A and B are shown apart, each in its own frame.
Chain A
């Protein structure tokens, strides 16, 4: 039963969503709405479950003095502070001026932005070390990257200002984005879509069961 019930639910929900797309009438549209509501509820519960799981694991690490237990302390303390700020702020905790808002603006925003900003340094370093014109394909990629990078900033047009309008760097990068890039994206998307359809069919029909866990 632990496997049959989830398979049955998956199959029914999958079929309803597929049919309701093509036949948006009762009872499919009603079921579609209900299942969408359920999905939101399940996902909201999953968020809570994930947060609780993180706290339980972190607390265990702190209590057991596991390696690098200082980081879990930061997680638990931050979690408690943010929860307290959120609950203390009442129903309007997200509005401007609340303690939650202050924490968000002056701790979360700078910290997460800093983490992401470091990427710029790694991208530059990785490009320097690995972006080589090893063969024809790599050279084409390199040339396209140069043109797009220069075309996306005003200096590209300054460098090619002697060219007529329509043949400058920004126009060239736009052409690359509009045609070769879009064609490549479409090819990838069609491939992904075909894969998705076949995987979805396997899941709906109960052939694919790996998402249920426990091997098989």
Chain B
């Protein structure tokens, strides 16, 4: 009964927090944008968190184990508090990210870029900032962007990214013309077979775009027959079907030039292709997105969220250390059960 009361209490607090956060959106009450801790306050908070972790380590040494709810609380703090902090981090651009930028640099205005949105909202925190920065860079360079999706939600994620980019770049529909500067061919079922078929005919797989316009009536793609008419392609993916299938079919069979943006979890699976030179660059996880934002000077959510990522990584490492201290302190057996409650 007590546990149920606590759970309901936590839910109520979370719900109230959500309502306050929603009301705090700039377009309602507008206090959110001004609600930022100064660097001094941010540092004090970091020191307090560090001291509390040290205290927990000492408690663990005294055989008083930390409960999992405490771990949840710290992860919540590590993710949410940095959103209000004014600390800036020095993001170092890696070679893999620079390769994507260089590939765009080598294209001339008017050349065609195929972007495949193969993800859904759960992966959006990592992949949406990549999509926005990549599209913004393409539009800045006057490249023509053809969008497709092998995941049902992909084309809508693309629409959302384009809306954000247009708003941030101050473009309207007359400056960035649908069908001329970019187009969205929508979703097609069939996974890697869609990629394979696109090798011979785009039109066979995408008869209409998302607006219902027949393929041949979309000015941007009416002369695009297959991959040989594409100058560069970029795949945003978080699983199957994704970068691996694009490499195996489009790159190895049809010689498509491909860069990729993957979630941090999926990125290790594409490293063999990257090392083999089959991928022209890789943006891996939120870090990759933040690096690309820095490179393209299109700072967005990835740069902001990197502080939360830093905090959460440090917190997880701290708790793994505490867990291992408990493990060795408890004679390697008793501590194994510890911390489950």
Which residues of the partner chain B approach A153 to less than 8 Å between Cβ atoms? 89, 287, 306, 309-310, 313-314
The dominant DSSP class at the A interface is helix
State the interface size on chain B (CB cutoff 8 A).
72
Q: Is the CB of A185 within 8 A of B272?
A: yes
Which residue of chain B has the shortest Cβ distance to A115 in the bound complex? B122
Q: Known contacts A112-B121, A178-B271, A185-B268; decide if A125 and B310 are in contact (CB<8 Å).
A: no
List the interface of chain B (C-beta within 8 A of A): 66, 68, 71-72, 74-76, 79, 89-92, 94, 120-125, 153, 155-156, 159-160, 163, 186, 188-191, 193-194, 196-197, 200-201, 204-205, 208, 210-212, 253, 264, 267-269, 271-272, 275, 285, 287, 306, 309-310, 312-317, 319-320, 322-324, 327, 332, 336, 338-340
15 additional contacts (CB under 8 A) given A124-B319, A146-B317: A40-B193, A90-B212, A96-B159, A108-B153, A116-B121, A121-B72, A124-B316, A128-B316, A132-B324, A150-B313, A152-B309, A153-B310, A154-B306, A170-B92, A174-B94
Select B313's contact among A43, A96, A152, A186, beta carbons within 8 Å: A152
Q: Known contacts A43-B190, A94-B159, A121-B76; decide if A149 and B324 are in contact (CB<8 Å).
A: no
Q: Is the CB of A150 within 8 A of B79?
A: no
CA distance A170 to B284 in the complex (A): 13
State the interface size on chain A (CB cutoff 8 A).
58
Which residues of the partner chain B approach A108 to less than 8 Å between Cβ atoms? 121, 153
Which residue of chain A has the shortest Cβ distance to B340 in the bound complex? A129
Which residues of the partner chain A approach B327 to less than 8 Å between Cβ atoms? 132-134
Q: Is the CB of A36 within 8 A of B190?
A: yes
Q: Is A208 an interface residue (CB 8 A)?
A: no
Q: Is the CB of A128 within 8 A of B319?
A: yes
Give me 14 A-to-B residue pairs in the complex whose CB atoms sit less than 8 angstroms apart, sorted by A's number. Answer: A33-B201, A40-B190, A40-B193, A40-B205, A44-B190, A113-B125, A116-B122, A124-B316, A146-B317, A152-B313, A153-B306, A153-B310, A155-B89, A170-B92
B273 to chain A, nearest CB (A): 10
Which residues of the partner chain A approach B306 to less than 8 Å between Cβ atoms? 153-154
Which residues of the partner chain B approach A150 to less than 8 Å between Cβ atoms? 313-314, 317
Which residue of chain A has the shortest Cβ distance to B205 in the bound complex? A40
Which residues of the partner chain B approach A186 to less than 8 Å between Cβ atoms? 272
Q: Is A68 an interface residue (CB 8 A)?
A: no
Q: Known contacts A40-B188, A121-B72; decide if A132 and B336 are in contact (CB<8 Å).
A: yes
Which residues of the partner chain B approach A80 to less than 8 Å between Cβ atoms? none
B293 to chain A, nearest CB (A): 13
Q: Is A47 an interface residue (CB 8 A)?
A: yes
Interface-central residue, A127, A128, A177, A178, by most chain B CB under 10 Å: A128
B45 to chain A, nearest CB (A): 15
Which residue of chain A has the shortest Cβ distance to B69 in the bound complex? A125
Which residues of the partner chain A approach B163 to less than 8 Å between Cβ atoms? 96
Q: Is A109 an interface residue (CB 8 A)?
A: yes
